Amino acid sequence: MDLEDLNEKIKRCTRCPLHLYRKNAVPGEGSLKLGIMIVGEAPGASEDEEGRPFVGVAGQLLTKTLAKLGISRDDVYITNVVKCRPPGNRTPTREEIEACLPYLLQQIVILKPKRIVALGLISGKTLLKLVGREVDKIGNVRGKCFRGQVAGVNLEICLTYHPAAVLRNPHLREVFENDLATFFGGGLPPLNK
């Protein structure tokens, strides 16, 4: 299966109740030009409207922060753990995450990223669990990278805040920018094995 077939499958998916509320499923977009995938939590209202990831205010902050680092969002593959918007932007349930996870795993198999940048606790928790790590606070793992194998692909999972949290807490902006600069630049933090 290629990415296009997978996207079509996601758009028609009825595997969990979130399909009942969506206008559009949001499979993801971008490329693996830099070998990096960005994974957030779930689409919000703007994303649901457009069928594209990270296009609302939090997405604009992400896009601007990448641009500030000289990175075009087209050179990164951007997606979410859950591909349909939870009503009222609530946190996706464990069941919804489990139902949708096979799509993220298939994206990883197809795209073979060298690094995944997980934004926020839900994304970080879901991804780190795949490499056998439990995490309950983003503050405990943010700014760190962990090496592992996901769906047969060797990669690093690097963690930072979700841009929506940065918007709510402007004092996190500098840390967020520095984390992305580190994850996208040459100076990687030491791997946490």
Comparison of 99 and 155: residue with beta carbon closer to ligand SF4 = 99
Contact (Cβ atoms closer than 8 angstroms) between residue 19 and residue 3: no
Contact (Cβ atoms closer than 8 angstroms) between residue 161 and residue 119: yes
Q: Measured between alpha carbons, how far is 169 from 155 in angstroms, rounded to an integer?
A: 30
Window 84-103: contact mask with ligand SF4 (x via CB under 6 A): x-----------x--xx---
Window 19-38: contact mask with ligand SF4 (x via CB under 6 A): x-----x-------------
- Rule CB under 6 A: say whether 39 interacts with ligand SF4: no
Q: Measured between alpha carbons, how far is 1 from 22 in angstroms, rounded to an integer?
A: 24
Contact (Cβ atoms closer than 8 angstroms) between residue 73 and residue 59: no
Comparison of 103 and 146: residue with beta carbon closer to ligand SF4 = 103
- Rule CB under 6 A: say whether 166 interacts with ligand SF4: no
* Side-chain half-sphere CA neighbours of 151 within 13 A: 15
Least distance from ligand SF4 to the Cβ atom of residue 83, Å = 4
- Rule CB under 6 A: say whether 173 interacts with ligand SF4: no
Least distance from ligand SF4 to the Cβ atom of residue 46, Å = 17
Give the DSSP H or E segment for 167.
helix 163-168
Contact (Cβ atoms closer than 8 angstroms) between residue 139 and residue 174: no
Among 18, 39, 122, 127, binds ligand SF4 (CB under 6 A): 18
Q: Measured between alpha carbons, how far is 82 from 173 in angstroms, rounded to an integer?
A: 25
Comparison of 5 and 174: residue with beta carbon closer to ligand SF4 = 5
Among 66, 82, 117, 127, binds ligand SF4 (CB under 6 A): 82
DSSP 70: T
List residues near ligand SF4 by CB under 6 A: 10, 13-16, 18-19, 25, 82-84, 96, 99-100
